[in-house]
Structure 1
């Protein structure tokens, strides 16, 4: 059981470590041309070739994941924490829960891309903070509904009902009686929200909402180098594979914390 969990967690941990520490491993300057535009692999020491300006693709790849990972971690942590509190509070207080669920239903109707554009473009100066706020706002309704459904069976147990009848405060009920019994669910939700945040942040960066050229960013690399896909496909394939592997590995790690995984 423990070995299986380690195998699920290891790929995600390695990729997260490489993404965060990548700038320290870059072999070339990230903003200086080292080869001709869309230079082939291996030319002038560029292992993955050059991008549209001749900059080292590998170095930009190693630099381009840190902001994406940090932003996604912040979004996942905020969404999971807020959803856990609101979802459990809604399960404990049905009247409040109905208000939360109806509000969540309304926000679920907003398309993701439209929501990103509305929030980031109306935010003063936009930037990374606006993108994080947009990603949290888009993910929160789904997470709240998920946590409310997961908390309902726990709230119906005898010891929680006894604590409610005994007059325990809401914060005590949430953090001492209910959430400790939902640890696996909260961890699984965090992993799923991280994957969702990766796609939202990457999509926004691809639309040039958030990080702007000449910043090294995986999604920006895909957008900038797509015209030269035939000349040096690695300038597009490398960041695409990195985003896909990051999402898949974290999703696999999240599955290790699911209640079903704990029973097997």
Structure 2
């Protein structure tokens, strides 16, 4: 595995986790005029309320990263299991294919809007459930296609003829041979989850991660992008970097494990 591929993701995750401890100011502490230029004590300037942009940046990544990771892991795990079962049981495979078509045609953000605006108390749990409902069918379809070749191999046929249970076939025979697919899907699901969670925060849905996260920083400071571009560019770039770096690291890990 190329260390340069994994290093950016590791640095970003560590910074997101340790960010609140490293921040020079509180997120609600005014340190200057709104949208002030970068200068001493504020390397990225200030936001619309005169708060330090760097401090907001350091505080705003961990919640987004953690929720996106939870969505990505559960979506990939459930998709992998259902896809392996679908490859071994073609009748279920047809159902998953139909569910995936529905998930593709109906944008996940539309489902999140409908659920979280009509049921605000659902909060982050509601966001997680809807993300799984829309993400798992598509992920399972990818795994079903990848697992079809494995399910047709001789050693799986022998295991079937020996009377092995479906659980054994899925977890002992099929999934161990899909490590690279798993890693690739985990990275892609993480990217999708990052943008989904960011969009939910940007739209001020009830599942927001709080007043300090990168998506909220982009939304709230858009009016001053000409005065202090870093108030918008810094959190926007942070979202892109964390998504791309983790995706690349997951792909590299899958290749080395295969």
What TM-score bracket applies, with the shorter chain setting the length?
A: over 0.9
Determine if the alignment matches structure 1 residue 52 to structure 2 residue 51. no
C-alpha offsets along residues 76-109 of structure 1, whole Å, 9 cap, x if unaligned?
Answer: 0110110011000000011111112212222221
User: In the alignment, what sits opposite 2:106?
Assistant: 110
Q: Is the partner of 1:72 in helix, strand or coil? A: helix
Higher deviation after alignment, 231-240 or 93-102: 93-102
Matches within 5 A, 1:1-264: 2=1, 4=2, 6-42=3-39, 45-209=41-205, 210-211=207-208, 215-259=211-255
TM-score (norm 1): 0.92
Contact 2:47 2:231 in 1 (8 A): yes
Superposed CA offset, 1:200-249 (max 9, x none): 11111111122276x11100000000001111111001001101111121
User: Structure 2 unaligned runs (5+)?
Assistant: none
- How far apart in 1 are the matches of 2:99 and 2:239? 32
Q: Distance in 1 between matches of 2:202 and 2:97?
A: 32
CA-based RMSD of the aligned residues comes to 1.7
Q: How many residue pairs get matched?
A: 257
1:126 & 1:225 partners in 2: Cα distance?
28
CA contact 1:39–1:50 (8 Å) conserved in 2: yes
Structure 1's consecutive aligned runs of 4 or more residues displaced over 3 angstroms after TM superposition are none
State which drifts further: 78-87 or 249-258.
Answer: 249-258
TM-score by length of 2: 0.94
Deviation at residue 157 of structure 1 after TM alignment: 0.5
Question: Which consecutive residues of structure 1, in runs of 5 or more, have no partner in the other structure?
Answer: none
C-alpha contact 2:103 2:135 (8 A) present in aligned 1 = no
Distance in structure 1 (CA, Å) of the matches to 2:120 and 2:109:
19
